[in-house]
Structure 1
Amino acid sequence: MSSTGLEKLVDVMTQLRDPESGCPWDLKQTYKTIIPYTIEETYEVVDAIERHDMDDLKGELGDLLFQVVFYCQLAKEEGHFAIDQVIESVCDKLITRHPHVFSDETYETEQALNLAWENTKHQERKKNKNQTSLLDDIPESLPALTRAEKVQKRAAKQGFDWTDIAQVWDKVYEEIAELKHEEQTAEPEQTDKIEDELGDLMFAIVNLSRHYKLNAESALRRATKKFESRFRIMEQQIDREQKTLSEMTLNDMEQQWQQAKRTQQQNK
């Protein structure tokens, strides 16, 4: 155990998976069984960043790095690849995709650079995975807002995009009108049509967020946190009055909500 850095972590992982002296829990894990932990660690990294907690971020990044090492150890045991090959692969990819940094290639505009980036990635997909569409490698498992934004960005980098944000707003209003129309005309059992129109509206909202150069997932997370904060304040107010939410009218709760909103704004 005299090695340092990444090599030390790899050594620790190897010992944890040692058939004779390793950890029983680590030994029974597979690619699929550690997926939930990988997702959890990723969100914990995001949470630490949003809280601006650098000490916590250091620990969470370590936990996430351990997930990468774990997958590489499993692959090594099965004879597929080792972590050195993973590192080499990503280095080659980054160098190939940045000819303006690692070679004499130049681009006159950022748009030209982005287009070259996407074209390079598209050629890699066709070569490595026999993919034919620019959208083929966008994972279905991504959160819905994130995947919608990624699909839109991929298409936009090829020029398939609104040029004026006013057009994006028009599309949002159009989808709102279509959702209202479907809600008013659909039979009670035809909720799939309402769901389709609601999905179209959400997709348009993601597009609006993208045109404002904002991240839809982050925007919704922020809105949810704001709601949660106000709701907690409202609960405290109601508790001080020795009442409960369940015994209040909607009008009473609205008054409490507005007071919580004012309190939250004052505390900023």
Structure 2
Amino acid sequence: MLDRLVLIMERLRDPENGCPWDREQTFASIAPYTIEEAYEVADACERDDMAALKDELGDLLLQVVYHSRMAEERGAFAIGDVVTAICDKMIRRHPHVFGDGRSPGWEALKAEERRGHADASALAGVALGLPALLRAEKLQKRAARVGFDWPDADGPRAKIIEELAEVESAPDAEARAEEIGDLLFAVVNWARHHHVDAEAALRSANAKFERRFRSMEALADGGFATLDLAAQDRLWDRAKAAEKSPVSAPDSAPSPPR
């Protein structure tokens, strides 16, 4: 079945009879779609929606075939080379399954693969295209493997307080943006020391905010934007309470932090 998809992509990219839009795409123009499809796969997994997961995996597979086809047109590699490479890698990284039963460990195997590459840094291979929170965590973990890390969560917690002060004392917008970046990096570090996935935690917080905000809009019956902040806060309390109980909280509940 993969061969059929490969042939479809070859036809779409045909210089004479292909699709004009597909023909003009490049690695750079397609990459954002690849990232988007990966997120949609993750979303289907989170919702445990098997029908959506099937569709989204197909969309993601199309992205792999798309990039492979463009690489083949350059004479770099083809889809078969991609499949062969990942098969070889998985066998190489699982000697305890496919080899003599002994394994030096996943990270040791990956480190061995990186030897001989132009970039020998402990941070090599942490993709620039990752979401910022996820990339921050990966960079911190890589640094920790070579001993550059706080001994416990107190270090990053103190760093958060320090960075907050630097945000407040920033002399201009550019400096403030830089300090807020440092603050976010410190928060990721603190989350990591508490064994919390910062990317997943923020994704959950986003979903919670969206759920409660939509509930507020429903409670306002189309008039949410006309309410003052105090009235909106009361609706927030009701939306928050409704998640824990079928009975809405009274309008006099204290305003929640946002």
Band the TM-score falls in, shorter-chain normalisation = 0.7 to 0.9
Q: Distance in 1 between matches of 2:36 and 2:4?
A: 24
Shift of 1:45: 1.1
Deviation at 1:192, TM superposition (A): 4.5
Tell me which residue corresponds to 1:90: 86
For structure 1, which segment, 175-184 or 92-101, has the greater mean C-alpha deviation from structure 2 after superposition?
Answer: 175-184
In the aligned structure 2, how far is the partner of 1:253 from the partner of 1:130? 56
Determine which of 99, 102, 106 is the counterpart of 1:106.
102
Residue 194 of structure 1, CA deviation: 4.1
Q: Determine which of 115, 118, 121 is the counterpart of 2:110.
A: 121
Whichever residue aligns with residue 261 of structure 1, its letter is K
Counterpart CA distance in 2 for 1:59 and 1:244 is 36
| Percent of aligned pairs with the same amino acid | 48
CA distance in 2, matches of 1:185, 1:81: 52
> After superposition, what is the alpha-carbon deviation per residue over 1:217-267, rounded to whole angstroms, capped at 9, x for unaligned?
111011011011111111222237xx543441x333222211110012226
Aligned equivalents of 1:25 and 1:194: distance in 2? Answer: 41
Displacement of 1:60 in angstroms is 0.8
Per-residue CA deviation, residues 16-59 of structure 1 (Å, 9 max, x unaligned), is 22334322222222222212221221121122112211111101
Measured against aligned partners, the alpha-carbon deviations of 1:111-160 in whole angstroms (never above 9, x if no partner) come to x62xxx32332332232x31120212212222110101111222334454
* Partner SS state of residue 130, structure 1: coil
Q: TM-score, normalised by structure 1?
A: 0.81
Q: Secondary structure at the match of 1:32?
A: helix
TM-score by length of 2: 0.84
Amino acid at match of 2:118: N
Whole-angstrom distance in 2 between the partners of 1:33 and 1:194:
32
Amino acid at match of 1:245: A
Is it true that 1:227 corresponds to 2:223 in the alignment? no
In structure 1, stretches of 5+ residues that fail to align are none
SS in 2 for 1:225: helix
Question: Where does residue 190 of structure 2 map in the other structure?
Answer: 208
5+ long unaligned stretches in structure 2: 247-258
How many residues are treated as equivalent by the alignment? 246
The one-letter amino acid paired with 1:120 is L
User: 2:159 corresponds to which residue?
Assistant: 175
* Correspondence for 1:245: 225
In the TM superposition, 1:188-199 aligns within 5 A as 189=172, 191-199=173-181
Does 1:262 find its partner at 2:241?
A: yes
Out of 213, 217, 220, the position equivalent to 2:199 is 217
Residue by residue, what CA displacement relative to the aligned partner does 1:177-236 show, whole Å, maximum 9, x if unpaired? Answer: 21343355444x2x4454444333322332333344432111101101101111111122
CA 1:251 to 1:51, structure 2 compared with 1: closer, same or farther past 3 Å? same
